[in-house]
Homo-oligomer: A and B are copies of this chain.
Amino acid sequence: MTLPAASVIGATQVASAKMADRHTPFVFDDWYVAAFADEVGPQLLARTLLGRGIVMYRRADGTVVAMEDRCPHRSMPLSAGELKDDHITCAYHGMRFNPQGDCVHVPSQSTCPRAMGVRTYATLERGPVVWIWMGDADTADARRLPPQPWLTEGDWETSKGYMHLKASYVRLHENLLDLTHLSFLHAKSFGTPDYASAAYETEIGDGHFVVMRNVVPTTLPPVWAEPTGIKGQGQAARIVRSEFRSPAMHEVSVSFYDCTLPEDARDTFRIRTAHLPTPESATSTHYFVVHGRDFSQHDKAMTKFMHDQLFVAFHEDVTGLALQEEVLARTPEHELYEFSVGADGPSVAMRRYLLSRVMAKA
């Protein structure tokens, strides 16, 4: 063809208009990862989250404070100031703010202006990560945080990492809900050729999107073959559940076992990965990852091996999604069209859900 027919392009554009993309406002009323817990201590940490400049620190009692990183007097970043006794003193005029964001001292006068203060945000610390509620702190609801026991309880060995993604978090979620790209984008890391065409099942609900793919029998790539010892051709079962749990969390759970053994003689090896994207801007994302396994928990060399191998693959996504974002940026909006295929069902539903979250609020 020289160009798809106008009616065909129009139909794809109508379909895309019903899905979230980089033009869609952020979903503020939810929990996002603000930082790894060990990044937050008794010093000021600045980070842009959902387009807002945020300053964070840990109080003497261990709780985490997050507030707008802007003095409400003359807009100096509070993160340029000093932290002392759980209070921030602004670098410009020395105004002092308590952990609640209230101005409690103005050096040039005896009292503070009435109602002067800075916006604060609710936070929750869970295991290795600090979550922040980017909507009104009054409406923060801890029950909205998806349960994640393996991240916080002791019998999983975990490692973590951070990547700066030059792409919209929407496209990262799209990527995570799709398993067919493993055979191509990850052909050299953890993808295998049979992955793209393996049978799959989906669960699609309100804010609940899952792809399950059982690749049995298959041959494991080194990242999994080495730790599990299931190295033979066609010796492995690879049972994958990949689940969108919130705009800020996608969890991948995989089980491996030796499918050449009788059912009662099998060891099952479980790994889990929490993909934790926090939008920085419309087209950039803080990409936090925590990975864990429930076997050989004390083998630190194995932890390092798996971590290194996995991050090679995650960087393939980061690189690929940045290329995609560049193409989207240079394509005139009226010339942009994207066809969806069957395997996109869960991610299309997820992108529609993200848009509906924003529309419901508007």
The answer to whether B107 and A183 touch across the interface, beta carbons within 8 angstroms, is: yes
Which chain B positions have C-beta within 8 A of A196? 93-94, 107-108
Main secondary structure of the interface of A (DSSP, over half): loop
B-facing residues in A31-56 (Cβ within 8 Å): 48, 51-53
Q: Is A239 an interface residue (CB 8 A)?
A: no
**Which B residue's beta carbon lies closest to that of A94?**
B184
Q: Is A233 an interface residue (CB 8 A)?
A: no
The answer to whether A338 and B136 touch across the interface, beta carbons within 8 angstroms, is: no
The answer to whether B94 and A183 touch across the interface, beta carbons within 8 angstroms, is: yes
Q: Is A339 an interface residue (CB 8 A)?
A: yes
The answer to whether B77 and A116 touch across the interface, beta carbons within 8 angstroms, is: no
The answer to whether B331 and A75 touch across the interface, beta carbons within 8 angstroms, is: yes
Q: Is A160 an interface residue (CB 8 A)?
A: no
Q: Is A305 an interface residue (CB 8 A)?
A: no
Given A119-B2, A136-B2, A184-B94, the answer on whether A70 and B331 have CB atoms closer than 8 Å is yes
Give the Cβ gap from A189 to chain B, nearest Cβ, in Å: 13
Given A53-B330, A80-B323, A92-B320, the answer on whether A174 and B74 have CB atoms closer than 8 Å is yes
Among A137, A184, A335, which residue has the most Cβ atoms of chain B within 10 A? A184
Q: Encode contact with B along A180-192: 1 for CB under 8 Å, 0 otherwise.
A: 1101110000000
B52, B184, B327, B341: which contacts A53 (Cβ < 8 A)? B327
Give the Cβ gap from A7 to chain B, nearest Cβ, in Å: 9
Q: List 20 A-B contacts (CB under 8 A).
A: A1-B100, A1-B115, A2-B101, A2-B120, A2-B138, A3-B137, A52-B335, A72-B337, A73-B341, A76-B323, A76-B327, A89-B184, A92-B185, A94-B180, A94-B183, A103-B339, A108-B343, A109-B341, A109-B343, A113-B341
CB-based closest 6 A-B pairs: A2-B137, A107-B196, A108-B180, A94-B184, A108-B343, A3-B119
